[in-house]
Structure 1
């Protein structure tokens, strides 16, 4: 059992010290960054309270919480309590289902309508684990306004508990069929989170960023382009776990704004394909390259494997090499190879297709290069 401290029993304490000494001992037992806060009705230590905060990705049913809970339990973190005004919402495994994941909610509405303080007062969390803003991004709300809502919520968390520890996610990717612009909006918003966290974090109440975006695929890790399936739940829980256990162990999950990428700070990138224009015998393709790491990318290479026998015939925004089997290798141009964390660039091409080809598609993969030391 980890991360909590148990006070002596009442009878033992009364035998050992006089009344004034007992009061002093109780006051001292409240110290430490995650020590339970005593009330008039509660003079014993309690489990560390963790609030999962967000929208349907967190709460409807938000089965990553079940995966995370059971992993924590199985690795010895048993004196914890997931808290929230909502309870179990499904999932096929036993777990502490309390949460604050309200389906359909926008973080800007929660801030504007002052909804969080009552939820905090009812649950008294020590740690908040927040994946919030997907509905705002979908609604095309400006990143500045979403981040202002984040700041308002952090103020309210600290009013509830000046020692609040806060983990904030870079949102998982989103690619719903009804919102073609959403994928890029998530990238643009995520790019702003590390700087916001660095400016908001304090020694007493740290804000750390947990990268839920990198390595998460809307094709394989969601069932609708937005909400995680079982694979996605596993990935989300795996990203929260080290950051959360660092707090439970009395440490920190990394510097404020560190997205927590795997790979020891090495740059990484992702690539996504779309076909904005199609005609008989060919189409125009576009590939977006995104720096998915916390390190600058000094250059990138993308492989493009077009489906149905298509061949790239023209390219702009990069340098093209084509193999005999039609696989295309594209390296950056001189002007678009350097990408800051979260930043994106695009290159385009023309592809020729056989008459029998179906809807344009291509498999794309990206590798990144670090700056020379």
Structure 2
């Protein structure tokens, strides 16, 4: 059985009342993937904006079978996840990591070069837990700060360049490292509710980025049909 672990920041954990891109991808894989699979991870909650804490389980109405497990947190980045990933992979026997990180690091903690060092630490730790773990890495996607802050936009562009190089450098046959393309036609004015966090259409587009990468590289599932 394939065991997917979504790893990310606020765009991945989502907040109270949302479906999340995790749900959209799960729906897609249920319809397109032939073999058994599940989503795994040490956390299940959403972020509650009222309490500013990951204490909500009020997902938007959907299929009650959806496995809510993940490793994502509001305000967390590569810096925060690198020390956690080995134990999470080991405990939950994840064999495919779906990773969307970097915006928080670049915005608050580290520059592009420092962030990519934490990316490398993350990959090494995941492989220490399981030498055959596979990973799909999503670049930092368009956001409102990058639109209005040229220096930050330059750091995002630099990190995404380094991420592509790192994915190529660290890829290996027994533990494939796949760089996803940015979500198709992602528009922060149409696909987010605040310039950063995805609304329903944004959730679909992020799910499509992961799904299409896995389909094209690994023949896993099928192409994602956007609504």
For the aligned pair, the TM-score class normalised by the smaller chain equals 0.7 to 0.9
In the TM superposition, residue 102 of structure 1 has moved relative to its aligned partner by 1.2
Which secondary structure state, in structure 2, belongs to the residue aligned with residue 221 of structure 1?
Answer: coil
In the TM superposition, residue 178 of structure 1 has moved relative to its aligned partner by 11
Equivalent-residue separation in structure 1 for 2:75 and 2:195 (angstroms): 15
Contact 2:78 2:102 in 1 (8 A): yes
Q: Decide which structure has greater strand share.
A: 1
The equivalences for 1:290-369 within 5 A come to: none
The equivalences for 1:249-260 within 5 A come to: 249=219
**What is the TM-score of this pair, normalised by structure 2?**
0.80
In the TM superposition, residue 60 of structure 1 has moved relative to its aligned partner by 2.0
Larger-gyration structure (1/2): 1
Higher relative contact order (CA 8 A, sep 6+): 2
Alignment correspondent of 1:60: 14
Equivalent-residue separation in structure 2 for 1:244 and 1:210 (angstroms): 8
Which secondary structure state, in structure 1, belongs to the residue aligned with residue 11 of structure 2?
Answer: helix
Equivalent-residue separation in structure 2 for 1:167 and 1:222 (angstroms): 22
Alignment correspondent of 1:120: 89
Which secondary structure state, in structure 2, belongs to the residue aligned with residue 74 of structure 1?
Answer: helix
Alignment correspondent of 1:231: 201
Q: 2:158 aligns with which of 182, 188, 205?
A: 188
Task: List alignment gaps of at least 5 residues for structure 2.
Answer: 47-58, 222-227
In the TM superposition, residue 242 of structure 1 has moved relative to its aligned partner by 2.4
Q: Does 1:200 align with 2:193?
A: no
Q: Does 1:85 align with 2:42?
A: yes
Q: Does 1:110 align with 2:81?
A: yes
Which secondary structure state, in structure 2, belongs to the residue aligned with residue 227 of structure 1?
Answer: coil
CA distance 1:139–1:178, change in 2 (3 Å): farther
Task: List alignment gaps of at least 5 residues for structure 1.
Answer: 1-46, 252-373
Contact 1:86 1:100 in 2 (8 A): yes
Equivalent-residue separation in structure 2 for 1:224 and 1:118 (angstroms): 33
Alignment correspondent of 1:139: 108
Contact 1:72 1:78 in 2 (8 A): no
Alignment correspondent of 2:185: 215
Contact 2:147 2:153 in 1 (8 A): no
CA distance 1:247–1:99, change in 2 (3 Å): farther
Give the CA RMSD over aligned residues.
2.4
CA distance 1:48–1:204, change in 2 (3 Å): same
Alignment correspondent of 1:73: 30
Q: 1:148 aligns with which of 114, 117, 122?
A: 117
Equivalent-residue separation in structure 2 for 1:220 and 1:160 (angstroms): 39
**What is the TM-score of this pair, normalised by structure 1?**
0.50
Equivalent-residue separation in structure 2 for 1:97 and 1:168 (angstroms): 20
State the number of aligned residues: 203
Contact 1:108 1:145 in 2 (8 A): no
